[in-house]
Structure 1
């Protein structure tokens, strides 16, 4: 999980390991969360599956920045 301060909010990029079959490579689901003053503002659902943890975190943070830009 990676966090970032943005326009007065704290954004979180979440990574959830996914592996459907034992012999398949592990993939990572992404999601994002936005908080302000220790209160939940918004949280995404699963934003997609990615090959790396870093890619999933970046997608979660990008979603959170876009939500803040559009709503706050």
Structure 2
């Protein structure tokens, strides 16, 4: 997974597989991480749950961009 860059920060969207049982459909927990010059700036924790990895990663990236916008 590669970071995206936003206003000088590296932003990451994470999709964490959540599967309670074998017969349960796969769900993905979303989270985001922000780094600057290789150092952790902020991490979101679990934001929400999604049916696809792509949706979860997108939510993490959106959270990271919004956090940067609100702290500039």
TM-score, normalised by the number of residues in structure 2: 0.95
Equivalent-residue separation in structure 2 for 1:19 and 1:37 (angstroms)? 34
The more displaced of 18-27 and 59-68 is 18-27
Q: Residues 2 and 14 of structure 1 are in contact (CA less than 8 Å); yes or no, is this contact kept in structure 2?
A: no
State the 1:3 CA deviation: 1.9
Range that drifts further, 14-23 or 49-58: 14-23
Q: Say yes or no: does 1:71 pair with 2:71.
A: yes
Aligned residues: 72
Specify every segment of 5 or more residues in structure 2 that has no aligned partner in the other structure, as ranges: none
What CA RMSD, in Å, does the superposition of the two structures yield over aligned residues? 0.9
Moved over 4 A (4+): none
1:8 is aligned to: 8
- Return the alpha-carbon distance in structure 1 between the equivalents of residues 70 and 2 of structure 2: 21
Matched, 1:55 2:55: yes
TM-score by length of 1: 0.95
Gaps of 5+ in 1: none
